[in-house]
Homo-oligomer: A and B are copies of this chain.
Amino acid sequence: MSCSEHKKKLIEEVGLHFEQTHQISPLAARIYAIMILSPYEGHTFEEILDITCASKSSVSTQLNLLIQLKKVEYFTKPGDRKRYFRASKRYLINTLQENLESINAEIKFMDKISEFNAKYNKNKFEKYGEFSKLFKGYLINQKENMKDTIEKMSNLTEELTDK
């Protein structure tokens, strides 16, 4: 099943989004998009070649990159040598978790700046400090909020995979 025009267009669109938000190459983003657009269904290597019109080597490399990043996983079928690639079942959770890490990085960053400013820019720091306190408070708040959602999603995952 090659791919409808509508879907091809969507793959480009979603791919572009992934390219920007996940910091991966255009081809990797397109491959990921293909899989997001049919969750739970596996795609063979050949199908991906066919849809992306890219070379075997590029698809191989980028696919392995996505697997390494845990964005993509694969399963096999008995008596079938092919691998079936699909978006990692936990990809929404993973996206959240990546976000969580970037918030953590932001907080660490704010700490560094605050520490430096408190030491060397003390006189100007009062004003600046209020902002950074507000910002940091916001970040920590977000973090808690996100943890909560991740937990809910994890529960949902277990519930579903148990069946």
Contact = CB atoms under 8 A, between A and B. Distances in A.
Interface of A: 7, 10, 13-14, 17, 21, 36-41, 92, 95-96, 102, 105-106, 109, 112-113, 116-117, 120-121, 124, 127-128, 130-132, 134-135, 137-138, 141-142, 145-146, 149, 152-153, 156, 160
A130 B113 contact: no
A37 B145 contact: no
A17 B124 contact: no
A122 to B, nearest CB: 12
A127 B96 contact: no
Interface SS of chain A: helix
15 contacts: A14-B109, A14-B112, A14-B113, A17-B109, A37-B117, A40-B127, A92-B132, A96-B135, A127-B160, A130-B156, A134-B149, A134-B156, A135-B149, A138-B146, A138-B149
